[in-house]
Amino acid sequence: MLLKKMQLPLYLLLLVAWIPKAIFCLEQSDAGEQSPQANTGLAYRKIRPANSEFAGRLFRLLVSENPHKNVFFSPLSITTAFAMLSLGAKTATLTNLLEGLGFNLTELQEKEIHEGFQDLVHLLNTTKGKVQLESGNGLFIDDKLELLQKFLGDVKNLYGAEVLASNFRDSEGAIKQINDYVDKKTHGKIPELIEQLNPNTIMVLINYIFFKGNWETSFNSTLTELQDFYVDKNTTVQVPMMTKREKLYYHREDELFSSMVVLPYEGKAWLILVLPDEGKLDQALDAIITKKGMSCSKFVEKRKVDIFLPRMSISTSYNLEEVLAKIGIRDVFTNNADLTGISTQSQLQVSKVLHKAAFEVNENGTVAAAATGIEIQRNIAALPTIMNFNRPFIMSLMDLNTHQHLFMGKIVNPAAKS
C-alpha cells in the first residue's frame, strides 16, 4: 500500500511590538540631508506601492470587523513575514501569495520583490539618531524536519532571519523557547506570545518590530488631568489627557472629513494624528484609505496648536487566517498549498497566523523647550488651533525614507487595555 505524505501545518506567527511613542518619519525639509540614498533608486522603491495598497486593504478589513474596538497593527510586519514565506512557495501558491500581497507579477519579478525587502530589512535596522528601531525574523524548525538549503540560504541572506532548532514534540519546551525569544526581542513588552501549539506544528516563523522614541518637546505631566473621552453617542470614559501648546505641522482636508497634526519626536520621528469631524469617523476612514490621505507630504505649514492627547497603553491581538483569505491570500491555508520550496520531506501548509501589537503614549521625552518656545513666541498674537483628541481618531506611522506604513491604527477607546 502506498503511503501518502502527511499534510503537516506550518505554524506562522507574525509579531510586532511598537513600544512608545513614535513614527519614524522625516520632515520634508530634512529628508534630503538625512537620507542621501533617497534619489538613488533603491530596490525597495519597487515594492512600495504594493505595500501601501496592502496596508489600506487590511486596515479597511480590520476596521470593518472591529467596529467598536481599537485597531492597531503593523502592515509592514505582516507583508515582510509573508514575503519571506513566499521563498518556499511554488506554482499557484506562489502566485496567489504574492498577488494577495498586492504585487503585479507582470510588472515586477519575484527576484525584485525579495531584493526590495532585503533593502527594507537593512534600512530598518540601520536607523541613525535618537530613535530605537529593531526589526527582524526568527525561524524555529523542528529538529526532525530537513529544510532545503536554498530556502535556508535565502531567508538568512535576504531577510536576515535567525534559524533555530526546536523540538516541537516537547510542546511546553518549544513554547517556552519561542516566548523567551519574543520576550527578549521586544524588550519584555510581549512576554507570552504563544499559549499553545498545534500538535502537528513543525515550524514557527516570527517577525518582530520594536520602536522607541522620545518626544522632541515633552508634555508637562503636571498638566495631565482626567477628562471625558467620547467613545460614541452613548459611551463616555475618563482618560488622563495630556496637553501642550506648540507650533506643529497641521493640515485640514475637507475631502477626508478630518484635521491632521504631526507631533515630532527626537531623531526625526513623527506621529501623524488624524481627528475626523464629529460623527464622520466611518467616512473619514473610507476616504483616507481610498485616497491614501495619511501622507507626510501633506504637511507643509506649521501653526500654533493646543493639542490634547490621551495618555494610553493599548495592546491588540489578531488571528489573521480568515482575514487574509478575504483579501486574497488563500492557498497557503489549504491542503493544496505548495510549499515544496521549504522542504520536500513533508507537505506543508499554514495553520495559524497571529499578530500582536503594543502601543504606549505618555508624557516622557527629551525636553527641547527652547527651540519650541522660540517658535511659539514668533506667533504669539495668533490664536491657536485646538486639536482635542477626545473622540475616536486615526493614526498612521510612516517612514518617509521608504514611504512605508510601519503601523496604522484607529483608537476608539484609549481606556481599553486590549
Q: Of 165-179, 254-268, 275-289, 325-339, where does mean pLDDT reach its minimum? A: 254-268
Contact by Cβ (8 Å): 100, 324: yes
Q: How far apart are CA 144 and CA 169, in angstroms?
A: 10
Q: Please give the pLDDT value at position 337.
A: 86
Q: What is the pLDDT of residues 16-25, one digit of tens each?
A: 333 332 222 3
Q: How far apart are CA 101 and CA 337, in angstroms?
A: 16
Q: Please give the pLDDT value at position 378.
A: 24
Reported as half-sphere exposure (CB side, CA atoms, 13 A), residue 72 has a value of 25
Q: In the beta sheet, which residues pair with residue 69?
A: none
Contact by Cβ (8 Å): 383, 267: no
Q: Please give the pLDDT value at position 268.
A: 63
Q: Given 3.30.497.10, 1.20.120.1770, 3.30.428.10, 3.40.50.2300, which CATH number is that of 7-213+313-360?
A: 3.30.497.10
Q: How far apart are CA 156 and CA 179, in angstroms?
A: 21
More confident residue, 196 or 129: 196
Q: Please give the pLDDT value at position 238.
A: 93
- β strands within 266-326, DSSP E: 269-276, 302-310, 312-319
Q: How confident is the model at residue 416 (pLDDT cuts 50, 70, 90)?
A: confident
Q: Where are the domains of the chain?
A: 7-213+313-360, 221-310+367-411
Same fold, 7-213+313-360 and 221-310+367-411: no
Q: What is the pLDDT of residues 281-313, one digit of tens each?
A: 888 888 877 776 666 667 778 889 898 988 888
Q: What is the pLDDT of residues 183-239, one digit of tens each?
A: 888 778 778 777 788 888 888 888 888 777 788 888 999 999 999 999 988 889 999
The reported pTM is: 0.82
Q: Which helix (H) or strand (E) holds 149?
A: helix 149-159
Cα 273–253–57 angle (5° rounding)?
65
Does residue 366 have a pLDDT over 90?
no
Does residue 118 have a pLDDT over 60?
yes
Q: Given 2.30.39.10, 3.40.50.1820, 3.30.930.10, 3.40.50.300, which CATH number is that of 221-310+367-411?
A: 2.30.39.10
